[in-house]
Structure 1
């Protein structure tokens, strides 16, 4: 597949993977993207996952058509992109590997038997490499989302090779909405590093970008402002859409009943979106994604061993470690003799910025009471303001 005048896609689709990075459900698989720039000097941009070495090397060879690559540019050392560096060097022993200092340090740790000798080109931030008519400029993007990451700008075709930036879950041979799976991907994998992404977006704003080539997901060529706007919202922790997320854990169904009542009241009051998650059964990553997408969150759980139920604890950990902020939170707790969940949940957000707590907290003693029904109505009123 041709990307630009001299740029070719040589990546692969993975429908074998069930959990990306060991935790994210990917029902439509993943793509591992790699590109070849054909010029006076030929550059290959990144490799792919270890399971697809033969297919990827075949794709590269088909594009090269007998030519020999001059450079392998390594933007990111995560194994889903860098696993075949050694295989590539063995296939093309005269190739020069282009990377930054941190990348080469990691490379030595991943490939302990590989000796590149003098076939290393160490690049600095802002440095350029001329291939002929194509000029590649390297822009460091530390902690987006590893410390060695850099992106590459081709000023000739105005292409940004964006590493993991602007990526999404899903293989390229499956049609699906970009926003949803790109958001789940971003929040789950990059979400902690909003300030670093903001810095990269600022650097990218100075470039004339007409095509974005990520290491996962489709090549972006149209309406780039939409994708950049989404990244700006996500990385600055702004509310993307108005709505309420209700995340709960329930053992015998009483807490679940309270959630169902609240959700019904919100819908009756015209709440634009009510998104409900059973944390024991639903996709945790999707529940995290929606908590960052919408402006209001209700957490409902039982007191468990003087703490909170494990699924709720895990969920809150996922939120706070990704710098959850600028949101409104309401609490529903349940306990048969010593309800303590609301206090525990609130303490979990002590370091979170700009959290607004609802005035109404619902305390259930075993099962819903008439007072609880009134409290749920009050909570719905507050959430719909």
Structure 2
């Protein structure tokens, strides 16, 4: 989009779409790109809320100049977060606007120097501090570890707009519409959860602290740094974050298998079929060798039940399964039901490895039977796989 879009009176979206980057943070796939949302607040003073990735600065500046003209400058830059997809343009922006003042918190100051050698024109703000820019009163809420130590949010008391930075954001370019009532939110909510579960979810306690801090604030617009702007139902996106960060789950199960020659996969599908037959309407099966781990983690975060099925590879779990388990341990998920099944030919021990994961993962309930087979499943192995599905289905129904 070439033009700025009005978000609220005197507030404009001046962000950009990035369809060039294939992997967010060089890790997470972006099948439909990502938006970097930057906002211009125009009052007696002009305030830019966050920048964009350096490669896209020209697009941002073009939008700004169309709003301000060539002669009017940006007075203040608010730095809510220092990750370079939001701060990457700061040094060039200061060169374009030499009198620009940077508003940030104390944690940000050293990062500005370390990333961009910027040490001048910095004004430190504290939690709860306000600045009146004429027509807008901006209040700062420090939200550390959502998901970096310096993260904060900025709130315009006049329009009730919350500039939430990474919180409440998600993957996906803004293709025409930029508001929640202009786009297919079923798609974006999936990408918001994928963003949350893979990037922010580890810091769920800090997310809860941030939501608590905002509990008495009237929010009419949630303007995140990625994804759609929430103006029709701002309480909905905040509610989703509240639910996810409380580790509240839906009644469903994710079956993930790693199988070199299809034998372990057969068992996994038997359990998935048993779950569905027992009335569990949401059952997702992932072949971990082919489905990117970020989509798998997203689904595991959503649903209460997880079945891990792994063949043995060089005496260890199948490498993509091992990678998934490492991610899950790091994410600190809680309140899950877990079923495990392992397969080996000449090196036993796979079940022991899966049980070690179950013990280290956190507050997870390990269900029976714990299944181990040698090479290929026999009739009694299928019976156990079906029983595991039945047992998990019963537990899931108890949680409804």
Say whether the fold is shared (TM-score over 0.5).
Answer: yes
1:115 Cα deviation from its structure 2 partner:
4.6
Aligned match for 1:371, one of 380, 392, 397? 380
The 5 A counterparts of 1:6-85 are 6-65=10-69, 66-85=71-90
Count of residues in Structure 1 that have an aligned counterpart in Structure 2: 381
Q: Which position in structure 2 is the counterpart of 1:246? A: 255
Are 1:137 and 2:139 counterparts? yes
The 5 A counterparts of 1:107-256 are 107-112=112-117, 114-116=118-120, 119-173=121-175, 175-176=183-184, 177-239=187-249, 241-256=250-265
Classify the secondary structure of the residue corresponding to 1:350. helix
Instruction: Please say if residues 18 and 27 of structure 1, whose CA atoms lie closer than 8 Å, have aligned partners that are also in contact.
Output: yes
Deviating more after overlay: 220-229 vs 83-92: 220-229
Q: Which position in structure 1 is the counterpart of 2:180? A: none
**In 2: Cα distance, 1:153 partner to 1:249 partner:** 46
**In 2: Cα distance, 1:269 partner to 1:351 partner:** 29
1:96 Cα deviation from its structure 2 partner:
0.8
TM-score normalised by the chain length of structure 1 = 0.96
Classify the secondary structure of the residue corresponding to 1:167. coil
Q: Which position in structure 1 is the counterpart of 2:91? A: 86
Return 5+ residue gaps in structure 1 as ranges: none
Instruction: Please say if residues 333 and 339 of structure 1, whose CA atoms lie closer than 8 Å, have aligned partners that are also in contact.
Output: no
**In 1: Cα distance, 2:89 partner to 2:263 partner:** 52
1:303 Cα deviation from its structure 2 partner:
2.4
Q: Which position in structure 1 is the counterpart of 2:298? A: 289
4+ runs deviating over 6 angstroms: none
**In 1: Cα distance, 2:335 partner to 2:349 partner:** 25
Aligned match for 1:95, one of 91, 100, 107? 100
1:266 Cα deviation from its structure 2 partner:
2.1
Q: Which position in structure 1 is the counterpart of 2:342? A: 333
Return 5+ residue gaps in structure 2 as ranges: 177-182, 395-400
Classify the secondary structure of the residue corresponding to 1:162. strand
Instruction: Please say if residues 49 and 84 of structure 1, whose CA atoms lie closer than 8 Å, have aligned partners that are also in contact.
Output: yes
Instruction: Please say if residues 303 and 334 of structure 1, whose CA atoms lie closer than 8 Å, have aligned partners that are also in contact.
Output: yes
- Aligned-residue Cα RMSD (Å) equals 1.3
Q: Which position in structure 1 is the counterpart of 2:397? A: none
